[in-house]
Structure 1
Amino acid sequence: MTTSASSLPSSPDSGAFSVVTVNVNGIRAAVKHRSENNLGMLPWLEAAAPDVVLMQEVRATDALARKALQPALDAGWHLSHAESELKGRAGVAILSRQEPAAVRVGFGSDEFDVAGRYLEADFDFGGDTVTAASLYLPTGAALTEDPKDVEKYEEKLRFLQAFGPYLDKLLAAGGQTVVAGDWNIAPDERDIKNWKGNRKNAGFLPHEREWVAAQLDAGWTDLSRTHHGDVAGPYAWWSWRGKAFDNDAGWRIDYHLATPALAERLRTTWVDRAGAYDLRWSDHAPVTAVFD
């Protein structure tokens, strides 16, 4: 039986609220204690006690996602989920302490609204409506003669062309909105450890970075970059392969973009980087933003 939200652990500061984004790399694997040290997403959730968790790459049906997260749901958390029509692919979800006032799937695209790429929900924080959206932008590929690369390249390009105007609409509405997730684009050289070696790779192609820059020029605020300033990273994704994590050879492709009305309420933001390689429950680390 599902208990009330009052059973949830209380926030460290009731006057603030936190929005976390994390690519879970498969919700069932993340919950099944991928780490040999018997850690996983659920112990992290209990310890971190966020208000909203925006998840990407859920890669499960709604029934399977709820089954994996049942202990959290029994403790009072609420799950909103947009699965992909392609089995075992993509999928975005929002796990929240409070029940959303409204939930919307997609952004008006016939192609991508059924692909588990975008989900947004409205919450009441201190009497204000705050919209939090989970985004999983296509990975894409460098444009080569390989038909598979061409397909992935063009898919990502179509997404950017369709999603940009929707971001403009959210910005023009003047509300308190945060769009966060796995953008699969590192905005600039500070956001990849080995940026020189990735100049021709998906996620750091010129047109991709120009697209992100256009969103920032339009008025969106990159919360992590604004808070941390002109520093390398902080990275939130590292390949499982080799010593990428140990050497902090990562990418900053997981981040929050906020409208001006919400960005001015930012208190702090950080990457919840695991203490060691074998303590990770995803190849992405949770990124937290706390607002007043």
Structure 2
Amino acid sequence: MTSTSFTVASFNVNGIRASRRRGFDGWLADRFPDVVGLQELRCPLSEVGEFPGYAASIDVGSIPGRNGVGLLTRHHPAAVRSWAVAPPRARGLGAYASHGRYIEVDLSDRPLTVACLYLPKGGLPADMQRPGGMRAEADGGAKYERKMAFLAGFARELDRNRLAAARDGREFLLVGDLNVAHTRHDVTNWRPARKMEGFLPEEREWFSSLLSPRRLIDVVRTLHGDEPGPLTWWSWAGQSFVKDVGWRVDHQLASPSLARRAEAVWVDKEPSSDARLSDHAPLIVRYRE
């Protein structure tokens, strides 16, 4: 029987080796999505391991223990492009070419390009940094400036890649941990979050600039509606996971025709804190063929 739908999962594993110790392989075998985007592999290629039933396209980057992205597909892809092999052309991204933050594949079983991104977390601008009132050490806004440069450059690069897929007769889908929560429905405590990295007004404006009826659609928000959630990240600390106090920073942004075929979305949140595979949970969307 021919399948009439396919599923795409995006999952920040926060270290593939640690996630595997917690049960990642069992999750993957049980859910078996058609495409899986992975972020924060955080290990050398020799230690990533195999993914039975999948062809794995991987870029672990050059920074030990940091970053690393991958795309798992049921069939060997028709083409694979990573920044390590084909550096980004947009200004502001060159320094990240070897960091293992972006990879994309052309699927061989359907006309679709899937891209996977792990976007820098960033920090606060200098005028918002208060000694003793921050989780991270004050840096004069350096991380903030780097993230904003990345955002500007990536918007241009994303347009270029999306249009290249369209010229080739392919739909386009961006999945990954974008480290930006877009609307107040994407953060449990959204009012104080307005002064936190990942929910700053300028970051949210950038996210809005990616979206339009003719370019890319936030399929998760479209399917879920204008109501709280679905959350995808919860701090390891305290009772955040149990009380469902978290953020939605994991996304799937689809070209318009593909977005119209999105029919269901769910976050595969574990039943208890002890069963967590990562500080993120897999974000899964089902699309009609």
TM-score between both structures, scaled by the size of structure 2: 0.88
**1:229 corresponds to:** 225
1:196 and 2:179 are equivalent in the alignment: no
1:43–1:165 Cα change, 3 Å: same
Distance 1:87 1:253, change over 3 A: same
Q: Distance in 1 between matches of 2:76 and 2:24?
A: 20
Aligned residue for 1:183? 178
Name the SS for the 1:124 alignment partner. Answer: coil
Show the counterpart of 1:141. Answer: 123
5 Å matches for 1:1-292?
A: 14-33=3-22, 40-66=23-49, 70=50, 72=51, 75-106=52-83, 107-108=88-89, 109-125=93-109, 128-144=110-126, 148=139, 150-173=141-164, 174=166, 175-217=170-212, 219-292=215-288
1:77–1:95 Cα contact (<8 Å) kept: yes
Q: Look up the equivalent residue of 1:129 and give its one-letter code.
A: P
For structure 1, which segment, 100-109 or 141-150, has the greater mean C-alpha deviation from structure 2 after superposition? 141-150
Number of equivalences: 267
Partner Cα separation in structure 1 for residue 283 and residue 240 of structure 2: 18
**Cα offset for 1:13?**
7.3
Q: Distance in 1 between matches of 2:2 and 2:47?
A: 33
Alpha-carbon distance between aligned partners in 1 of 2:216 and 2:139, rounded to the nearest angstrom: 33
| Rounded Cα–Cα distance in structure 2 between residues aligned with 1:149 and 1:52 | 40
- The answer as to whether partners of 1:143 and 1:149 remain within 8 angstroms in 2 is yes
Q: Match of 1:161, as an amino acid?
A: A
- Structure 2: gaps of 5 or more residues: 130-136
Q: How far apart in 1 are the matches of 2:40 and 2:2? A: 30
* 2: CA distance, partners of 1:149 / 1:208: 18
**How far has the Cα of 1:152 moved from its partner?**
1.1
User: Aligned to 1:21, what secondary structure does the other structure show?
Assistant: strand
Change (3 A) 1:114 1:257: same
Q: In angstroms, what is the RMSD of aligned CA positions?
A: 1.6
The answer on whether the counterparts of 1:141 and 1:149 sit within 8 Å (CA) in structure 2 is no
Distance across 1 between alignment mates of 2:142 and 2:56: 32
Distance 2:185 2:249 in 1: 11
Q: How big is the shift at 1:195? A: 0.7
The answer (yes or no) to whether the contact 2:10–2:175 under 8 Å persists in 1 is yes
Q: Give SS of 2:144's match.
A: helix
| Residue deviations 1:219-242 (CA, integer Å, cap 9, x gap) | 210011000101101100000000
Once residues 132 and 42 of structure 1 are traced to their aligned partners in structure 2, the CA distance between those partners, rounded to angstroms, is 22
TM-score w.r.t. length of structure 1: 0.87
Alignment-derived partner of residue 133 in structure 2: none
Distance 1:184 1:76 in 2: 30
Does the CA contact (< 8 Å) of 2:76 and 2:108 recur in 1? no
- Contact 1:140–1:155 under 8 Å retained in 2: yes
Query: Which moves more between the two structures, 145-154 or 156-165?
Result: 145-154
